[in-house]
Amino acid sequence: MTLEERVLNVLKNTFELDTVDLTCSQKTCDKWDSIGQLNLVVELETEFDVSLEPEEIGEMVSFGDIVMILKRKEVE
């Protein structure tokens, strides 16, 4: 499973979505609020065995942002 597929899986499970795609963001997902963001961070840190910095967490507002941040951390 690719990094992108794993991120989509985390988004789908965290926000209890039936489907999720590359356009998933805070603007398009009603459940992606401040509490959802915290849950998402916990799930991403667990799934990818990383620690996310507060600045990185603040940058995470879409699927693409999450993938970019994880790639910067050299997650595969």
Confidence of residue 7 (pLDDT cuts 50, 70, 90): very high
pLDDT in tens, 23-43: 999 999 999 999 999 999 999
pLDDT for 11 equals: 98
* CA-CA-CA-CA torsion sign (43, 48, 49, 54): negative
Angle at 21 between CA 42 and CA 68, to 5 degrees: 55
